[in-house]
Amino acid sequence: MSSNKIILTGDRPTGRLHIGHYVGSLRRRVELQNAGDYEKMFVFIADAQALTDNVDNPEKVRQNVIEVALDYLACGLDPERVTLFIQSQIPELCELAFYFMNMVTVSRLQRNPTVKTEIGMRGFESSIPVGFFTYPVSQAADITAFRANTVPAGEDQKPMIEQATEIVRRFNHIYGDTLVEPSIMLPDNAACMRLPGTDGKAKMSKSLGNCIYLSETADEMAKKVKTMYTDPTHLAVSDPGHVEGNTVFTYLDAFCTDDHFARYWPDYANLDECKAHYMRGGLGDVKCKKFLEKVLNETLEPIRARRLELQKDIPAIYEILRRGSEAAREVAADTLADVRRAMKINYFDDAELIAEQVARFAQ
Ligand code: TRP
């Protein structure tokens, strides 16, 4: 029925999820879930990791746990098939991270390119919280506690998976084969690697106000699409236009199919024909934006509707997370029992150790 793939992935709850998350990861997760080609699949809300750079704003993290859970469920993650849990509810992760800390050097962490970039972005330079600095180690614990071998994530998470792999190798070398080496599963479509903001800036980010959220209304979205960044040199409709770096076309690359053209814009068979016209000149931005709006709505409308339904019973959402966290904890506890045995710190269960000490003191 299923291979022995164990999938694990998650998000920091620092905001509602947007369409960049959708094309970069959420869509893929739902496909993986529905394909059923896995032994277990875990998706979690990394609240403890979010706290590593939000120490002054714990309320933000607390509020966004439920937002992310609603986004997950609205996108189609099914708690019957996927274990949905909250990171902080699994104390075994802290324990494992503490043992892993000894297997990583400060200089190795300093070389982690994602951590480096994030330190710059947050202006931490001289006052980096220790927890933030070591979050790659904690992330290695997240992955290995569930024996995950497949981690669907974006390019920016590559250094984290590499670091986790090094830790696993080091652990297994010292203590014997115990933990599973993970590998990253990157998005399969270049357009999905990183969706730019509606202003054309490299990344969707809440602080730049350039996101389209899964939870916003069709009207809110329509306004954002209307003011989207396109090609600043495409002044008159008749002018030749550029599709490269043109946000409308980048979004179309990520979202539209030939079927969308058949349904909403039969002038073209596919996106290539549409792009060719735009580049030749004679195709205006307004038409392209209207089409993009229809394409986005087709994907987002069912998500919005499901979210509104889910919002009617918030206690039920927490209950899903509670049950998922309990199930996840059992799995992590099982791995930790193996880890303690391998490290020989399971003193009270180790009859051999006790016998050995008896013999030693009898001499
Ligand atoms: N670092 C990830 C992010 O910023 C979230 C995360 C935490 C994660 N632990 C993980 C992702 C383990 C994959 C596997 O989005």
> Which pLDDT score is estimated for 192?
61
| More confident site: 29 or 189 | 29
Look at residues 209, 298, 212 and name the one whose alpha carbon lies nearest to residue 248: 212
Tell me which of 14, 49, 133, 161 to substitute to probe ligand 1's pocket, judged by most ligand atoms within 8 Å of the beta carbon: 49
CA–CA distance, 90 with 296 (Å, rounded to integer): 37
Q: What is the pLDDT of residues 132-146, one digit of tens each?
A: 999 999 999 999 999
CA–CA distance, 295 with 218 (Å, rounded to integer): 12
Atom of ligand 1 nearest to the CA of 160: 1
Planar angle of CA 111, 115, 119, nearest 5 degrees: 115
CA–CA distance, 249 with 332 (Å, rounded to integer): 44
Tell me which of 22, 29, 42, 142 to substitute to probe ligand 1's pocket, judged by most ligand atoms within 8 Å of the beta carbon: 142
Per the structure block, which two tokens stand in for 240? 């030749």
Q: What is the pLDDT of residues 231-263, one digit of tens each?
A: 999 989 999 999 999 999 999 999 999 999 999
Residue 68, ligand 1, Cβ within 6 A? no
Nearest residue (by CA) to ligand 1, atom 5, is: 11
Q: How confident is the model at residue 119 (pLDDT cuts 50, 70, 90)?
A: confident
Give percent of the chain above pLDDT 70. Answer: 98
Q: How confident is the model at residue 191 (pLDDT cuts 50, 70, 90)?
A: low
> Which pLDDT score is estimated for 90?
98
Distance 76 CA to ligand 1 centre (A): 20
Residue extent(s) of CATH 1.10.240.10 domains in the chain: 218-310
Residue 8, ligand 1, Cβ within 6 A? yes
Nearest residue (by CA) to ligand 1, atom 13, is: 9
Q: What is the pLDDT of residues 41-85, one digit of tens each?
A: 999 999 999 999 999 999 999 999 999 999 999 999 999 999 999
CATH number, domain 218-310: 1.10.240.10
Once rounded to an integer, what is the mean pLDDT over residues 333-342? 98
> Which pLDDT score is estimated for 156?
87
Nearest residue (by CA) to ligand 1, atom 2, is: 11
Distance 4 CA to ligand 1 centre (A): 22
Alpha-carbon separation of residue 355 from 78, 289, 344, 347 (angstroms): 49, 76, 14, 11
- How is 187-248 classified by DSSP, letter by letter? -SSHHHH-PPPTTS-SS--GGGT---BTTS-HHHHHHHHHT----TT--STTS----TT-HH
Atom of ligand 1 nearest to the CA of 148: 14
Once rounded to an integer, what is the mean pLDDT over residues 350-361? 94
pLDDT at 193 over 70: no
Once rounded to an integer, what is the mean pLDDT over residues 273-277? 96
Give percent of the chain above pLDDT 90. Answer: 87
Q: What is the pLDDT of residues 216-229, one digit of tens each?
A: 999 999 999 999 99
Once rounded to an integer, what is the mean pLDDT over residues 120-135? 86
pLDDT at 1 over 60: no
Distance 94 CA to ligand 1 centre (A): 15
Non-local (6+) Cβ contacts of 333 within 8 A are 92
Once rounded to an integer, what is the mean pLDDT over residues 186-194? 72
pLDDT at 189 over 90: no
Q: Report the SS3 class of residue 354.
A: helix
Residue extent(s) of CATH 3.40.50.620 domains in the chain: 6-194+314-355
- Name the CATH code of domain 6-194+314-355 (choices 3.40.50.620, 3.90.79.10, 1.20.140.10, 3.50.50.60): 3.40.50.620
Q: How confident is the model at residue 344 (pLDDT cuts 50, 70, 90)?
A: very high
Once rounded to an integer, what is the mean pLDDT over residues 85-103? 98
- pTM for this predicted structure: 0.94
